[in-house]
Amino acid sequence: MVAAAALDAMAGTRWLGLVTAVWVQCISGNNYTFSNYSHALKTLMGLTQLQLNGLSVAKDVGKAFGLLAGLASDRVPTWLLLAIGSLEGLLGYGAQWAVVSGAVPPLPYWQMCVFLCLGGNSTTWMNTAVLVTCIRNFRRSRGPVSGLLKGYVGLSTAIFTDVCSALFADDPASFLVMLAVVPAAVCALAMVFLREGGAAGAAGADEEEDGRCFAAINSLAVAIALYLLAADLTGIGGGGGAVSAVFVAVLLVLLASPGAVPALLAWKSWVKARKAANADLEGADSLAAAAAPLLVSAKAAAAGREEEARGPGERPRLGEEHTIAQALTSMDFWVMFASFLMGVGTGLAVMNNLGQMGVAMGYADVSLFVSMTSIWGFFGRIASGTISEHFIKTRAIPRPLWNAASQVLMAAGYIVMALAVPGSLFIGSVVVGACYGVRLAVTVPTASELFGLKYYGLIYNILILNLPLGSFLFSGLLAGLLYDAEATPVPGGGNTCVGAHCYRLVFLIMALACAVGFGLDVLLSVRTKRVYARIHESKRAAAAQRVS
């Protein structure tokens, strides 16, 4: 009984860490909010679209330095990763606020690039700390964990946008204050509670109880998304005054509500501990429970020794632990990398250019489209993580197949936007947001399943190099050059373009890129069928053992 209570306490610690991670993810999508203040920067600094897109690429280049976070993830504690990320964000977004608010004169272009890069890099430290820690704590639930965490990242843009609209009437300077200060405050809280719970606790967890906890937090996340969606469609959140204050207050209560899950687990652990303290005898079941963590640890240690004993020339199979060199010499890694580039690169081009796309289509305010991209990105992330996990358990369907489906839908979204029919920007923002979310939520656990968790932090950040690369290719070059070719100069510097022709060719080329990505995802699905068949059998065996 004492050992069982101890395991329950460990489970509560893992869940407290996961909920804290959720709160970090709620504020770590600030890198996707550029469209909310990009027009202010363009006007203030007198930039062309190519130059403005250069700034958006600079923020995404910050993610390239996420390799540092990946290297550090196995060498420094989680709290230090969070501290570095929050301080970088405070500096990067704080400098942008100083310029937009007029507190300082416009900085030279290269200095603005540096500060945008710092802001972009800040999220890599937060995301690495959160994903690596939580996936290691929930090894047998990687899909739901990834979908949940990435889902809340998807919501973060809508949270920032709607709160700013409610409290500050979409003022760009106030928005940048939020991007600088709020993440630093949340990360300070997470430094206390987010930590690895140990392999034993993760492996010995009650999967049925885990499933109930995931269902509860997912339900709360869906409630938050629907609340934000209703506020955006009705405009109630931006009404100002008491109505807006109530909207923000209810939103904060909803965001705090996942904390009820670890609180309930802690209460159950306390009840069991009291029963254990009053028990006269500890039976064989207690001894077995006490020995279980030791047995799991021994198995983990044996697996580690087996991995260390593997010769440098021996190539592991997919699904086994890979070193960085082994992963980078695998064709499957580069197929995944290239397909990821097509999806996230084109998605970033839309997110970075929504402000100018809205102006081209005749919209004075694009906050609705930014929020729609965020909210539907959440639905794509959270649904794909859970659904892909379900179909692995029931039918051994390879996870990359869901990425292939998202490429088809994303290509269709780009074609609709190219046609410029009424409402096409709204439809496009929904479709692109959802499919971009699928890409992130599915690729993250896929990488851990194919190449292992030992060097997962670095492997994840190598994949994330697709963000700056895709931003440079599709946003900086493709969208920037083609827009400027259609735009006309304006007095005082810069340029503008109004009409469907401004981005039509951009959308068509991105649809073609998604078609290429579809082929790569299908190829990866075929090549990983055996891996997912083994995972399927493992899950079936574990379920049968629990029943018996």
Average pLDDT score over residue span 380-396: 90
Q: Does the structure show a pLDDT above 70 at 117?
A: yes
**% of the chain beyond a pLDDT of 90:** 45
How far is it, in rounded angstroms, from Cα 178 to Cα 156?
12
What integer pLDDT is reported at residue 315 of this predicted model? 67
CA distance 38 to 33: 9
Looking at the predicted structure, is the pLDDT value of residue 134 above 80? yes
Q: Which two tokens stand for residue 31?
A: 């890198």
Residue 462 in this model has a pLDDT that exceeds 70 = yes
Q: What is the pLDDT of residue 306?
A: 43
295 pLDDT exceeds 80? no
Predicted confidence at residue 144, as pLDDT, reads 83
List residues bridging with 489 in a β-sheet: 495
Mean pLDDT of 312-331: 84
Which of the two residues, 50 and 22, has the higher pLDDT score?
Answer: 22
What are the tokens at 412? Answer: 């269709």
Q: Which residue has the higher pLDDT, 79 or 167?
A: 79
- The more confident residue out of 115 and 271 is 115
Task: Give pLDDT, residue 255.
Answer: 94
The band of 178, judged by pLDDT with boundaries at 50, 70 and 90, is: very high
pLDDT digits (tens, 9 = 90+) for 9-22: 556 688 899 999 99
Find the mean pLDDT for residues 399-418.
Answer: 96
Q: Is 162 exposed, middle or buried (0-12, 13-18, 19+ CB in 10 A)?
A: buried
Q: Confidence class of residue 211 from pLDDT cuts 50, 70 and 90?
A: confident
Q: Residue 440's closest CA among 351, 507, 325? A: 351
CA dist list (Å): 366 to 49, 211, 226, 284, 347: 17, 38, 20, 64, 17
Nearby residues of 243 by Cβ (< 8 Å), 6 or more positions away: 236
CA-CA distance, 391 to 465, in Å (whole number)?
Answer: 29
| Beta-carbon-side half-sphere exposure of residue 450 (alpha carbons within 13 Å) | 28
Question: Residues 118, 167, 172, 472: is their CA dihedral positive or negative?
Answer: positive
For residue 446, give the nearest of 535, 360, 377, 371 by alpha carbon.
535
Residue 83 has pLDDT above 80, yes or no: yes
* pLDDT range class, residue 165, cuts 50, 70, 90: confident
Q: What is the DSSP letter of 105?
A: P
Query: Has residue 157 got a pLDDT over 70?
Result: yes
Looking at the predicted structure, is the pLDDT value of residue 296 above 60? no
| Helix locations, 310-365, DSSP H | 324-328, 331-360
Place of tokens 């190449």: 451
What token pair was written down for 131? 């994903």
Burial level of 241, CB count in 10 A (0-12/13-18/19+)?
Answer: exposed
Tens of pLDDT, residues 424-447? 999 999 999 999 999 988 998 999
Give the separation between CA 489 and CA 484, rounded to whole angstroms: 9
Q: What is the Cα–Cα distance from 537 to 305, expressed in whole angstroms?
A: 25
Alpha-carbon gap, residue 83 to 191, rounded angstroms: 8
Q: Using CA atoms, how far apart are residues 17 and 259, in angstroms rounded to an integer?
A: 10
The residue type found at 412 is: A
Query: Can you tell me the distance from the alpha carbon of 468 to that of 474, in angstroms, rounded to the nearest whole number?
Result: 10
H-run or E-run covering 419: helix 400-419
Please report which confidence band the pLDDT of residue 469 belongs to, taking 50, 70 and 90 as the band edges.
Answer: very high
Most confident residue range from 96-105, 452-461, 511-520: 511-520
Residue 237 pLDDT? 67
Longest CA–CA span in the chain (Å) reads 87
Number of H helices, E strands in the chain: 23, 2
**Minimum mean pLDDT among 98-102, 148-152, 386-390, 509-513: which range?**
148-152
pLDDT for 81 equals 95
The model's pLDDT over 339-371, given as tens digits with 9 standing for 90+, comes to 999 999 999 899 888 888 988 888 877 878 888
pLDDT above 80: residue 267: yes
Least trusted range by pLDDT, from 3-7, 332-336, 425-429: 3-7
Burial readout 110-137 (b: 16 or more C-beta within 10 A, e: otherwise): eebbebbbbbbbbbbbbbbbbbbbbbbb
| Mean model confidence pLDDT for the chain | 85
Bridge partner list, 488: 496
Helix axes of 367-395 and 424-451: crossing angle, nearest 10 degrees:
40
Q: How far is the C-alpha of 538 from the C-alpha of 210, rounded, in Å?
A: 17
* pLDDT of amino acid 2: 47
Residues 426-438 as b/e (b if ≥16 CB within 10 A, e otherwise) read: ebbbbbbbbbbbb
Q: Higher pLDDT residue, 32 or 75?
A: 75
Question: Which helix (DSSP H) or strand (DSSP E) does residue 520 occupy?
Answer: helix 504-527
Question: Which is more confident, 359 or 227?
Answer: 227
Intra-chain end-to-end CA distance of the chain, in Å: 21
How far apart are alpha carbons 507 and 410 in whole angstroms?
A: 11
